[in-house]
Structures are given as C-alpha cells and as structure tokens.
Amino acid sequence: MPKLSVRTELLVAFAALAVLAMLPAFTSSKALVDFVIRAAAFGLFATSLNLLVGYGGMVSFGHGLFFGLGAYSFGLLMQRTGLPIPVAFALTLVISALSGLVIGAICVRLKEIYFAFVTLAFQMLLHSLIVSWVPLTGGDQGLLGGIPRPTFFGVNLANHIHLYMTSAVLLVVGLLLMRQIAQSPFGYTLRMIRDNPGRTSFLGVNVFRTKLTAFVLAGVFASAGGTIMSLFVSSAYPDFAYWTMSGEAIFIIMLGGTSTFLGPMVGTVVLLLLNDVVTRITPHYGLVLGIVILLFALGLRKGITDFIVEWFDDRRTARITAADAEEGAR
C-alpha cells in the first residue's frame, strides 16, 4: 500500500465528499440517498472492526455491541434529555469509549478464539439487557415514539437531504480519522503486535495498553455508525445489538478484504446491494447469504480488494521481469 501524504489524503477525502454532496443534485432517487446513509452507518461500523481485525489481529465477534450501544445511547439521550444533537452525539461517543475501556480491559488479554467469544458474550449481555429492560428501552419493540431531531446550526436532520449530507460528512471524516490512526506510529505498533506480540513487548511496547486503545477507538467509531443508523430509522432496535450484526460485519470485512484500508467500505457496498437484491427475490435471506459466505470463505478465501491489489502486484512483477529480460537480451 503506497503511503500517501496527509495532504493528498485530505484532498481525496474532500473530493469524495464533493462527489457525495453533488449526488442529490443529479438524481431524485430516494433509494439511492437512503443507500448512501445506510452505507455510511455500516461503513463506519465495518471499517472500525477492521482496525481491530486487519491491523490488530484481534478477531472480535462482538463488535455489534458498540453499534447497538451507539444507537441506543444516542436515541435515549435525545428522547430523555432534550440535549442538542451535537452534544448528545459527543456524549454517545464518550459512553462508548468508557464501555469499551471496561469491556476491553477484560477481553484484550485473551487470545484469539477466547477473545472472539468473550466479546460475543458481552454483546449478548447488552442485547439481553435491551430486551428485558422494557421501561427504558421498549424491549422487543425498540425505542418507541421516534427520536426527536431539533435543528442545530441550521441543520435539520428531519430533512432527508440534510440527514444525507450529515451522514456523508460523518462517514468521510470518520474514514479520514481512522486512516490517520492506521498510518500513525500507533497504527504501525498495532500491526507489529499482530505479527509478533512477544517481540513487540521486548521492544518496550505496552502491548495491553496498545490493544486496549485500539479496542476503545474501534468502539467509538462503531458507535458513530450506530448513531447514524438510529437517526436514519428514527429509533433503535434490539437487532442492532444482536450477534448477527457482528457476524455481518465480519463477513463485510472479509468480503471487501482485510489488507486494504478501503476494503471494508467496498464490502459494505457489495453486501448492502446483495442484501437489497436477495430480499426482493426470496424470503430465505439467511439461506442465500449463508451460501454466499461459504463460497467466499471456503472457495475464494480472499476479499475483493485483495484480488485487485494482487492483480496490480502481478502486473508490476510481470513488467519488471519483462524489463529485466529485455536488459538481459541486450
């Protein structure tokens, strides 16, 4: 992966945002606008998981916890306190960071499969709390009565286009921040821990603290995704915190590819498209999705962007060998 300068990345992000901003001017399709909002929510969620899985080698099977936590914290704060949206959003991120700190402190010491299912257990704890604490959360019905969306700084999130723009900005800013984290010395320390934790610790790095920081950061970005989702549906449902959410996120990053930063984003778009097509054709969504997952996991064994990167690498190698051969012939 070529290392781009921060300025180039800012330019790319700005260009992406400009394209997204102009989209509603060219199309009046509500479905497309909706699609981008959903992609923003899931994209932040999946990319944050890849921060753990791809960069840190920590396969969390409970990342949906933060998605659900974000949606419920934000929804409840808006319903119960009447705070302005930016304040409630910031508080949601703080709540997720604190929860991530506590849960992470218990989980990140554990290895591989233990880590995977203890994170899963914590997610199911949140799910069972949501389902059983009916007076607060509305139980199975989700947060009832909608989430109030008072205007702030002239932004009215009840307006579809305003919500779309806010989601797009959150997505691009979130991705840019995560990209900076991944490219920072911290990000490289994380990769080093993934590849050789023993050696990293010999070099004087506090492995536990680095992993915990990654866990908290990933949780914060995932809860931002959950917040977008709760704004989009104007509610929050127990399904947001259900284990299938984590399973889906794992499939998304595998589908897109864990070795590139934008892989999870590609995976998100592809899975959402697949989702829309399959649910239109058949009621047996699980059956079809399950078979697709098996095809990828047992057949291809790689994500979409992994194939693209490999193709470029192969071409470059081929070009170099060809040039070498030419030189040799001369």
Partner 1 sequence: MNPDALLTCFASSACLVTQVTSGFIIGMLLFLVAVGLTLIFGVLKVVNFTHGAFYMLGAYFAFTAYGLTGSFVAALAAAAVGTGLLGVVFERWFISRVYGGNVLMQLLVCYGFILIFDDVVRIVWGAEFRSMGMPDAFMLPPFIVAGGVIPAYYLFLIVCGLVIAAGLGMGLSRTRLGKTIRAASHNPDMVSALGINTGLLYACVFGFGGLLAGLAGGLAAPVRSLTSGMGFSILIESFIVTVIGGMGSILGALVGAILIGLIRTFGTLGFPLFTEGLMYLFMAVVLIAKPTGLFGKDIA
Span between the terminal Cα atoms of the chain, in Å: 33
CA torsion, ordered 238, 177, 55, 306, to nearest 10 deg:
90
Would you say 236 and 142 are in contact if contact means Cβ atoms under 8 Å apart? Answer: yes
Q: Is 130 in a helix, a strand, or coil? A: helix
Residue 98 vs 287, nearer CB to partner 1: 287
Tally DSSP H helices, then E strands, for the chain: 14, 0
Q: Rounded to an integer, what distance in angstroms lies between the CA atom of residue 41 and that of residue 292?
A: 23
Residue ranges in contact with partner 1 by CB under 8 A: 53, 59, 61, 106, 109-114, 116-118, 120-122, 124-125, 128-129, 132-133, 243, 247, 250-251, 254, 258, 284-287, 289-294, 296-298, 301
The minimum distance between CB 194 and partner 1, in angstroms, equals 12
Residues 6+ apart with CB under 8 A from 44: 170, 171, 174, 175, 221, 222, 224, 225, 228
Burial 55-83 (b: 16+ CB within 10 A, else e): bbbbebbbbbbbbbbbbbbbbbbbbeeee
The minimum distance between CB 271 and partner 1, in angstroms, equals 13
Residue 7 vs 280, nearer CB to partner 1: 280
The minimum distance between CB 146 and partner 1, in angstroms, equals 25
Q: Rounded to an integer, what distance in angstroms lies between the CA atom of residue 60 and that of residue 215?
A: 9
The minimum distance between CB 263 and partner 1, in angstroms, equals 13
The minimum distance between CB 297 and partner 1, in angstroms, equals 4
Residue 285 vs 311, nearer CB to partner 1: 285
- In the structure encoding, which two tokens stand for residue 329, read together? 């012939």
Residue 125 vs 169, nearer CB to partner 1: 125
Residue 19 vs 297, nearer CB to partner 1: 297
Residue 39 vs 120, nearer CB to partner 1: 120
The minimum distance between CB 223 and partner 1, in angstroms, equals 20
